[in-house]
Amino acid sequence: MSDSRRRDILDATAIAIAERGLCETRIADIAEIIGVSPALVLYYFPTKAALLADAMIHLDRLFYESVSDKLEQAPTAEDKLMILIEESCPGPSVEGALPDSWALWPATWEMARHDPALAEARTRLDEAWRSQIVTIVEDGIAAGEFSQIDAKDFSLQLTAMLDGLAMEAMLGDPTVDAARMSELARAFSRRMLKGPV
């Protein structure tokens, strides 16, 4: 079982879902993206549903790791938070490249409603994500950068807001693009972290 080929398939699946949509993605589409036969896809994954679920988690993990790396290089808690927000905003979508992980979120949520394994994997990643925020905020409080708020509450509020804003930006809501999304999330953070307790 070549591990790189396996990753190829996961990448291709993410691309296919992003471009064609969850329901319209066929195994043949995935195979075509990397130029192999449909049978090979089922050689690496037991079933289509399992592949789809794995691909979503795969893309999420890539995103999580990429952002985690960037966070380490930021000096202050505030810098880290700004990077985290900026990275959460959707960039321009490029045909054939790995999509923003946003593009797969509705599909992930929809599938997770009936796939307990996927739901649990998603929850685990989400918790890791939020705990990053908690750490940043608590460090910021300790350093005197932020006021003493409940970091856990804030992390839940911020991630929820980012999710919601990203959906609107993704769907082309004329009042919410990536810039506005970033602005709103930053304004929220400022208000929560800088104001009087």
**Site residues for a copy of itself per CB under 8 A:** 20-24, 103, 105-107, 109-114, 119, 122-123, 126-127, 153, 156-157, 159-165, 167-168, 170-176, 180, 184, 187-188, 191-192, 195-196
- Find out whether 20 and 52 touch, Cβ atoms under 8 Å: no
What gap in Å lies between CA 160 and CA 176, rounded to an integer? 16
42 interacts with DNA by CB under 7 A: yes
SS3 label, residue 47: coil
Spatial neighbors of 44 by CB under 8 A, at least 6 apart, are 1, 5, 6, 9
Nearer to DNA among residue 42 and residue 149 (C-beta): 42
Chain centroid offset of residue 122 CA: 10
Compose the 45-74 pattern: x for residues touching DNA by CB under 7 A, - for all others: --xxx-------------------------
- Find out whether 8 and 34 touch, Cβ atoms under 8 Å: yes
Nearer to a copy of itself among residue 7 and residue 23 (C-beta): 23
What tokens does 176 get? 């919410």
27 interacts with DNA by CB under 7 A: yes
Nearer to DNA among residue 49 and residue 179 (C-beta): 49
Nearer to DNA among residue 7 and residue 113 (C-beta): 7
The residue behind tokens 């918790």 is 127
**Rounded to the nearest whole angstrom, what is the least distance from the CB of residue 2 to a copy of itself in the complex?**
29
DSSP structure class, residue 98: P
| Residues lying near DNA in the complex (CB under 7 A) | 1-2, 5, 26-28, 35-40, 42-43, 47-49
